[in-house]
Chains A and B, each alone.
Chain A
Amino acid sequence: MNATSPPNTWDSYPDVNGRFGDFGGRYVAETLMPLVLDLDRAYAAAKADPSFQAELNGYLTHYVGRPSPLYFAERLTQHFGGAKIYFKRDELNHTGAHKINNCMGQILLAMRMGKTRIIAETGAGQHGVATATVCARFGLPCIVYMGETDVERQKPNVFRMNLLGAEVRPVTSGTGTLKDAMNEAMRDWVTNVADTYYLIGTAAGPHPYPAMVRDFQSVIGTEARAQMLQMEGRLPDAVVACIGGGSNAIGLFHPFLADEGVRLIGVEAAGHGLESGLHAASLTGGRPGVLHGNKTYLLQDPDGQIIDAHSISAGLDYPGIGPEHAFLHDAGRAEYVSATDEEALDAFKLCAELEGIIPALEPAHALARVGEIAKDLGPDRIVLMNLCGRGDKDIFTVADALGRRI
């Protein structure tokens, strides 16, 4: 395997219309179209501006705490008896997850655009906390839309957002989960077009969000690739990440896209099991459609109505997936598998007991497949997993699932 990356032809996506093959695009109301086009121009200018990148890198180093370590998970490797297992430790970032990589990039862009009010959607609350954090840091008012179901099951994060000065608005429309929070944020944006910046938390939504969020999260894969070359002198055989909207996964995958020998494996949330109908596996159990500004795989009924997702992990509980994943799936460049609530819980406990790391339930889904992948690859091979969040936020959910009281 080459130590230097060949030219990344995958970098040509999306095209000027925000298309990853047949996926992506800009499916928004006319009122928002001029804003989305304006954002596209502003982001392109920032991306090409070395001073923007330098400013971002400064905050990533000194505020977020990057680079995050690459860690050899020795005891899990021994436990599974296959390929060496490495973790990219993005759970060690400030605020405890990968979400802040994207928030830091977008808040700097928002200020560059002269926007004075920030809105965001959140499911588990990790993106909401990360958005509230950067808004506090830069002194901007922050409104976070959160489904009322999620407000109830993620109380610690609601309190964190409040401590950071953000206003959390519970969303009761629809079914009161992440997709409804995103609808409500869009409604806010369409109402407050002059001053408001919509800070989307995942690699989905109208162009340029999927490409922009991917770019900001690609720091994960870029660092991990260099760290792996330094520690092992070679690239991994497989990289693995959990997928809800898919921002941590695309951030890990993208810098490896041109490395054809590296398998890219995304793990969706299978909830109670794919056959139960109660899951969040849009690629495995959905079909293409249009929602939230982009064309992608969606969970939907025969009439094209969106079906609620289910996962024990609020961060994966979304009925769609970023359009670049839909493209990589159809192009065959990435593989997508799934893990159930129960498998994720087992992996959660295993990671805590063997590595002394309490993972978030989201990457616990990825870990649930890593054992098989490691065994499948065999010794002398390497599998790299993004440990994209820490599990402090999940202890109540896990205690509940285990029938324990804390």
Chain B
Amino acid sequence: MTKARIDDRFAALKAEGRAAFIAYIMAGDPDLEQSFEILSGLPGAGADLIELGFPFSDPMAEGVPIQRAAQRSLAAKTTLAKTLDLVRRFRLQDTATPIVLMGYLNPVLNWGFEAFAAAAADAGADGLIIVDCPPEESGPLADALDAAGISLIRLAAPTTDDARLAIVARRTSGFMYYVSVAGVTGAKEADETAVAPAVVRVRQASGLPVAVGFGIKTPERAAAIARVADAAVVGSALVDEVAAALAEGSPATPKVLVKAAALAQAVRTARA
């Protein structure tokens, strides 16, 4: 069961008494080979879990950095199948770091839920986050993922009240993803004083570790969130490093990994 990889990782970190650093990158950004290099280097840079985005032409919940990452990825002819190939190659060298796929429903629906879930499990993916598939619409997807042993990780938002939180938590496993701000990714800044009580609420409703994302760009923010949550997710700030590398004509991998290492360090030492 691949779900175990996520549970094991959070259990180990709890024993260490620290939060997880979750790094988000976009598959195929800036191209498949460089994104594989980045993916391969993330555990060494200190990523405890990895969210691997797969591109969609119309990413409605993303801010400009991840929109552009998706466009670069699509320009590099990335598909959902090629995204799973990256996971498969990664698993040849790392069997411990959980990989959670993140994206929009249409490419998954287009593949077929059962067939996709089986292929994702076979490649070595551990979880799936679908931004535009709320609990009300995710029954068939949840069934398919359950059958394949993959965690469906749902999002809770500042607009999610207690009654809805119970619905959101019902078929979620691995961890809950708390969207720290009402907005798109990478736009507003997460405020730990507002986030802290929400994390407690989500943790109580789900009985799961709570990862916080959507507004964390700097090591300082990451550390502040890591003091109140079980994991801090950073995405836009990492894909912005890819954009910066392309702008200056330098290789993307070292820039992304240096940034990831700084964020990981901040999370690791946040509660020290």
Do B67 and A173 touch (CB < 8 A)? yes
Interface size class of A (residues with CB under 8 A): 35 or more
Nearest CB on A from B150, distance (A): 19
**Which B residues are in CB contact (< 8 Å) with A186?**
60-61
Identify which of B31-39, B101-109, B119-127, B261-269 touches chain A.
B101-109
Nearest CB on A from B33, distance (A): 19
Do B157 and A304 touch (CB < 8 A)? no
Do B60 and A306 touch (CB < 8 A)? no
Which of chain A's residues 150-201 have a Cβ closer than 8 Å to chain B?
173-174, 179-180, 183, 186-187, 190-193
B245 at the interface (CB under 8 A from A): no
Closest to B77 in A: A303
In the complex where A30-B154, A191-B183 touch, is A305 in contact with B107 (Cβ < 8 A)? yes
B187 at the interface (CB under 8 A from A): yes
In the bound complex, CA of A190 to CA of B60 (Å): 9
Nearest CB on B from A4, distance (A): 38
B76 at the interface (CB under 8 A from A): no
In the bound complex, CA of A180 to CA of B67 (Å): 11
A125 at the interface (CB under 8 A from B): no
Closest to A27 in B: B132
In the bound complex, CA of A30 to CA of B134 (Å): 6
A293 at the interface (CB under 8 A from B): yes
B residues within 8 Å of A by Cβ? 55-64, 67, 71, 74, 79-81, 104-111, 131-134, 136-137, 154-161, 164, 168, 179, 182-184, 187-188
**Which A residues are in CB contact (< 8 Å) with B104?**
290
Ordered nearest first, which 9 A-B pairs have the shortest CB separation?
Answer: A304-B110, A304-B107, A31-B157, A191-B183, A305-B57, A303-B79, A30-B155, A304-B106, A306-B57
**Which B residues are in CB contact (< 8 Å) with A306?**
57-58, 106
Per-residue contact bits, chain A 190-227, to B (CB 8 Å; 1 contact, 0 not): 11110000000000000000000000000000000000
Please report the number of residue pairs spanning A and B whose Cβ atoms sit closer than 8 angstroms: 123
Nearest CB on A from B99, distance (A): 20
**Which A residues are in CB contact (< 8 Å) with B184?**
187, 190-191
Given A31-B158, A33-B164, A290-B106, output 17 extra A-B contacts at Cβ < 8 Å.
Answer: A27-B134, A28-B60, A29-B134, A29-B155, A31-B183, A34-B159, A34-B161, A173-B64, A173-B67, A186-B60, A187-B63, A190-B60, A190-B182, A191-B187, A193-B158, A290-B104, A305-B57
In the complex, which of the residues B106, B107, B108, B168 has the most CB atoms of chain A within 10 Å of its own CB atom?
Answer: B106
Do B137 and A179 touch (CB < 8 A)? no
Do B183 and A305 touch (CB < 8 A)? no
**Which B residues are in CB contact (< 8 Å) with A290?**
104-106, 109, 132
Do B134 and A28 touch (CB < 8 A)? yes
Do B58 and A291 touch (CB < 8 A)? yes
**Which A residues are in CB contact (< 8 Å) with B159?**
30-35, 193
In the bound complex, CA of A56 to CA of B218 (Å): 51
Do A26 and B57 touch (CB < 8 A)? no
B contacts with A: majority SS: loop
A289 at the interface (CB under 8 A from B): yes
What are 19 sample pairs from A and B whose C-beta atoms fall under 8 A apart? A29-B60, A30-B154, A30-B168, A30-B179, A31-B160, A34-B164, A173-B64, A173-B67, A183-B59, A187-B60, A191-B187, A193-B158, A289-B109, A290-B106, A290-B109, A303-B107, A303-B110, A304-B111, A305-B74
Do B156 and A174 touch (CB < 8 A)? no
In the bound complex, CA of A289 to CA of B58 (Å): 13
Nearest CB on B from A208, distance (A): 13
Do B110 and A179 touch (CB < 8 A)? no
The answer, among B58, B155, B182, for a CB contact under 8 Å with A183, is: B58
Nearest CB on B from A297, distance (A): 12
A255 at the interface (CB under 8 A from B): no
In the bound complex, CA of A69 to CA of B107 (Å): 46
Which of chain A's residues 84-129 have a Cβ closer than 8 Å to chain B?
none
**Which B residues are in CB contact (< 8 Å) with A35?**
159
Do B110 and A29 touch (CB < 8 A)? no
A338 at the interface (CB under 8 A from B): no
Nearest CB on B from A83, distance (A): 41
**Which B residues are in CB contact (< 8 Å) with A230?**
none
Nearest CB on A from B18, distance (A): 27
**Which B residues are in CB contact (< 8 Å) with A190?**
60-61, 182-184
